[in-house]
Amino acid sequence: MKNRLLKLTLMIAFLGAVNTYAQTAVEYMNVFTAEYGKIQQDMWDYTSSVSHGKSARKVEKRRAELIQTSTAALNKAKSAKAYNGSTQFRDSVIEFLRINNIVLKEDYAKIVDMEAVSEESYDAMEAYMLARDRANDKLVQASEMVGREQKVFAGANNINLIVSEDALDKKMAVAGDVYRTYNEIYLIFFKSYKQELYLMDAINRKDINAIEQNRNALISAAKEGLKKLEGVKPYKNDKSMVEATKKLLEFYIDEATNETPKMADYFMVTENFDKVKKAFDEIPEKKRTQSDVNEFNKAVNDMNASVNTYNATNQSLNKKRSSLIDNWNNTAGKFTDTHVPKGK
């Protein structure tokens, strides 16, 4: 009858020293798996914390601790002996831990730095998310390599591996699927969100040319985003983030198409008023004609009407924008909280 052993599922393996005296194949494998569970859980807690909203920089201490743990595991793995002359399984674990150390020391160090500037531009945000995906892909591929070598070792040593429903495996698989959808939608949202900030900056600077350029750019970005949303496959048919993003993009299009021109008009009316007032003030009071007074009064009336329109438009946009952004953030938070397993 074959020996039976639960399938090894590695994220980070904590390895006890492998003794040189006689061991069964199962005992040999058990040495590699004895304490990996706790460390695997710790790694999941770390990545889950970041995924659920904690800044990677704020949990830097935890990353440093994981580097130490992983390094100790790697050193112990290197000291392990072969089993019946074969080092293939051991070497796969060593390679996994080597890759894991590189990811923790190099990839995540860069990710921490990239996170700090990720919101400065769409390109920076896209690069940051891509870096996270690539780091996670490296770990997944390395883990799958160990799984393949374990099967080879088990087959060579008459061990029957029973595939277990490992809780962490399931959590990580689910989280990966959820965040692929989340990231796709987030980048669609962020491109227009960032472009609107450029428009708001131009308005604050009263730069008519910049307002026009960024207004058109926002319309283009939002329309492009709506088209991309049509191709998003909702996770478990949860369309909440898609719908929240759609509403926000539609707001951006309306804002840029219909409302921003009203605000731009205010700056042109203000510029005209300043010119009329300056010319009017330069005319001595006794020499002012009725035509001069009428022109000045008209400029005042236009200015007052423009101020009222500007204020009303600005207040309306601020209210709508705040509501839609709050809705987007709440929806996105609920989406991840609902679908991404928690750390424990």
In a domain, 151, yes or no: yes
Q: Is the pLDDT of residue 1 over 70?
A: no
- Token digits for 213? 């350029």
Asked if 211 and 152 sit in the same domain, the reply is no
Question: What total number of domains does the chain contain?
Answer: 2
Average pLDDT over residues 266-292: 93
The pairs formed by 66-69 with CB atoms below 8 angstroms and a separation of 24 or more are 66/12, 66/42, 66/104, 67/101, 67/104, 67/105, 69/12, 69/14, 69/39, 69/42
How far does Cα 187 stand from its chain's mean position?
A: 8
Domain C-terminal end among 164, 184, 203 = 164
Q: What mean pLDDT, rounded, does the chain reach?
A: 85
Q: Is the pLDDT of residue 60 over 50?
A: yes
**Cβ contact 256:223 at 8 Å:** no
Q: Report pLDDT for 3.
A: 39
In a domain, 180, yes or no: no
Q: Is the pLDDT of residue 6 over 70?
A: no
Asked if 159 and 236 sit in the same domain, the reply is no
Strands 3-6 and 159-162: what pairing? Answer: parallel
Domain C-terminal end among 144, 164, 184 = 164
* C-alpha gyration radius of the chain: 31
Tens digit of each residue's pLDDT (9 = 90 or more) over 241-258 = 999 999 999 999 999 999
Asked if 226 and 127 sit in the same domain, the reply is no
Type and span of the H or E element at 3: strand 3-6
Tens digit of each residue's pLDDT (9 = 90 or more) over 128-179 = 989 888 887 887 788 788 878 888 988 899 888 776 545 666 777 788 888 8
Tens digit of each residue's pLDDT (9 = 90 or more) over 220-229 = 999 999 999 9
Asked if 103 and 197 sit in the same domain, the reply is no
Q: How far apart are CA 222 and CA 253, in angstroms?
A: 6
Asked if 204 and 249 sit in the same domain, the reply is yes
Higher per-residue confidence, 32 vs 12: 32
Q: How far apart are CA 72 and CA 36, in angstroms?
A: 12
In terms of residue numbers, what domain contains 40?
Answer: 3-164
- Token digits for 133? 């995906």
Higher per-residue confidence, 14 vs 197: 197
Number of C-beta neighbours around residue 32 at 10 A: 25
Q: Report pLDDT for 39.
A: 63
Residue type, 213: Q
Higher per-residue confidence, 33 vs 118: 118
Q: Report pLDDT for 265.
A: 94
Q: Is the pLDDT of residue 35 over 60?
A: no
In angstroms, the Cα distances linking 165 to 8, 29, 40, 151, 170 are: 11, 19, 15, 17, 7
Q: How far apart are CA 51 and CA 174, in angstroms?
A: 13
Closest CA to 94 of 155, 16, 13, 163: 13
Asked if 292 and 156 sit in the same domain, the reply is no
Closest CA to 192 of 247, 132, 240: 247
Q: Report pLDDT for 19.
A: 42
Instruction: Categorize the per-residue pLDDT at 73 as very low, low, confident or very high, splitting at 50, 70 and 90.
Output: confident
Average pLDDT over residues 22-30: 77
In a domain, 21, yes or no: yes
Q: How far apart are CA 67 and CA 101, in angstroms?
A: 6
Q: How far apart are CA 96 and CA 154, in angstroms?
A: 18
Higher per-residue confidence, 91 vs 10: 91
Q: Model-level pTM?
A: 0.82
Asked if 246 and 114 sit in the same domain, the reply is no
In a domain, 185, yes or no: no
Q: What are the b/e assignments for 247-272, b being 16+ CB within 10 Å?
A: bbbebbbebbeebbeebbbbbebbee
Q: Report pLDDT for 34.
A: 57
Q: Is the pLDDT of residue 344 over 80?
A: no
Asked if 324 and 280 sit in the same domain, the reply is yes
What residues form DSSP beta bridges with 5? Answer: 161
